[in-house]
Every structure is written in structure tokens, then in C-alpha cells.
Amino acid sequence: MKKLLALISESYHEFKNVSTITCCAMFGAMSIVLGSFATIRVTPNLKIGFGSLPNELVDYLFGPVVGALFGGGMDIVKFMLKPDGGFMPGLTFNAMLAAFIYGMFLYKRPLSLKRMLAAKFFVAMLCNVILGTYWLSLLNGKGYLAILPARFIKNIIQWPVDSLLFILVAKALERAGVFRLIRHHKK
């Protein structure tokens, strides 16, 4: 428990660095672009996209506290830029919870496919399938069990693909020295 609290405290202290805010702004811009141009809407309740990749990089680099605030902020900004139905605070909570979970799994830990698979699975089931389906059923007036199967199948299929994609991108950025530059400027 002490280690978890220390991890949360370290993530909170990331806000003291101007480079953290600057990097979050750049990752936010990438997330908006990817969310706008690299998203496929399958049904009103089902879309596939890559806008979450920059969010997960923030969670990896800056931890659960920065990630949660970034995730919630980006959810609101994306909604304001491109309203898609009514605003649902529950979906913003989901974005924050998912980022917090990713941060707890990834922050200050070595990159590994096994760790990312575990984090993605936990987020996919809790935030996307269980809670996300509930929020969408409230928002759209559709039955929870009516939209649950499609969302479950989509998340199970996308789970290993998204995990592998994150690891490939993160490892490439690590090899290119991008993370070293970001961490160097934080000091």
C-alpha cells in the first residue's frame, strides 16, 4: 500500500514541471488529431479509434494523477470540439479512471507486453464494457443488455491489438530517445 501511495504522490509532483504541462499539451493535440481523423464509427454505440494512444503515453510518462486529469480534460475538450450526442459526465469519469489505472500499471515500470495486456484487459472490462455500456445505455436510452454483446466483442478483439500497438509505438519512441529527452527536461 505504501508503494501505491508513493507512486500516486510522485505522479502528483509531476505537475511541478513545466515540461510535464508542455508534453501533455502536445500529446493532447495528437490525441485530438488521431481522434478526429483515425476513428471509425461502426454503430452509434461502437467506434474504433487510435485517439487513446497519446493518452496512454501520458499515463506511462507522468503517472496516474497527471493521466487522470489529462484524460478527463481531453474527454471534455474532444466533446466541445466535436459534440457527439449529449454530454455524459460518467464517460468523463471513465476516461479519468482508465488513465488512473494505466498510470498505476505503467508509471515508472519497464515497458512490457504482459503488463500492457493486463492493464488493457482491466480497463477494457471495467471501464469500457461494464461502466461504458452503462453510461451509453443511460445516454441513448437503449437497454444495457442490448448493447453489451457488441461492446464486449469489440473490446475483446481490440484488447491485444491495442496492447501490441502501444508497446510497438512506446518502444520505438524509447529507442529514438524521445522518452529520455522528456525525462531529462523534467529535472
**Confidence (pTM):** 0.90
Query: How far is 144 from 20, CA to CA, in rounded Å?
Result: 39
- What does the block give as the cell for 184? 531529462
**Cα three-residue angle 176-184-118, rounded to 5 degrees:** 65
Q: How many CA atoms are closer than 13 Å to the CA of 140, on its beta-carbon side? A: 18
SS3 83: coil
Q: If we measure between CA atoms, which residue out of 35, 79, 26 comes closest to residue 57?
A: 26
Helices 144-175, 178-186: inter-axial angle, 10-degree rounding: 90
Residue-level pLDDT, tens digit, the chain, 187 residues: 788 899 999 999 998 889 899 999 999 999 998 877 766 776 665 566 777 899 999 999 999 999 999 999 999 999 999 887 778 899 999 999 999 999 999 999 999 999 999 999 999 999 999 999 999 899 888 899 999 998 999 899 889 989 999 999 999 999 999 988 887 665 5
Contact 186, 151 (CB under 8 A): no
DSSP H helices, the chain, are 2-13, 18-37, 52-81, 89-106, 113-123, 133-140, 144-175, 178-186
The string of DSSP codes covering 98-121 is HHHHHHHHHTTS---HHHHHHHHH
What was the pLDDT predicted at 15? 86
What was the pLDDT predicted at 114? 97
